[in-house]
């Protein structure tokens, strides 16, 4: 199989709108995604982060840029849609990666209360 761009989804939650808590939860999520998918930063094409409207104390991308040192990876933060019944205090991520692995071998990671979002995907 030749290399392709694949997406890796993940999400986590925090207990409060606190800068350190947002960065720590994002760092934990990214580290597990990297470990479970055997990634290096050069594999990552870009990352999109979203947060629910109740989180504004920090940009999750700071965890990737400052704590993991991913200064060359394009990062973008956005607000999640404010849909009825949504899970609050939630940080979501979509990593675009270059890989030769088929989609069924990609491991998606949902932590804490976010594990309820996609029970059909691989969960930790």
In a domain, 122, yes or no: no
Asked if residue 52 lies in contact with residue 84, where contact means CB atoms within 8 angstroms, the answer is: no
Please choose, from the candidates 90, 85, 81, 93, the residue with its C-alpha nearest in 3D space to the C-alpha of residue 112: 90
User: 84 lies in which domain range?
Assistant: 4-114
Asked whether residue 123 is assigned to any structural domain, the reply reads no
- Residues in the chain predicted with pLDDT less than 70, given as ranges, are 1, 121-124
What's the number of domains the chain is made of? 1
The reply to whether 40 falls in a domain is yes
In a domain, 119, yes or no: no
CATH of the domain at 29: 3.30.1330.40
| 29 Cβ contact list (under 8 Å, min separation 6) | 10, 11, 12, 91, 93, 109, 111
> What is the value of pTM for the model shown?
0.91
Residues tagged active-site:
9, 65, 77, 80, 92, 110, 118
């Amino acid at each position: 199989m030749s290399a392709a761009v694949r997406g890796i989804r993940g999400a986590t939650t925090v207990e409060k709108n606190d800068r350190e808590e947002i960065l720590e939860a994002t760092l934990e999520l990214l580290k597990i995604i990297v470990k479970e998918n055997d990634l290096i930063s050069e594999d990552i094409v870009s990352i999109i982060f979203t947060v629910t409207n109740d989180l504004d104390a920090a940009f999750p991308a700071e965890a990737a840029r400052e704590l993991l040192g991913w200064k060359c990876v394009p990062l973008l933060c956005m607000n999640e849609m404010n849909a009825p019944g949504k899970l609050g205090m939630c940080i979501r991520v979509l990593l675009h990666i270059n890989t030769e692995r088929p989609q069924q071998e990609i491991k998606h990671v949902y932590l804490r209360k976010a594990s309820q979002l996609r029970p059909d995907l691989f969960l930790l």
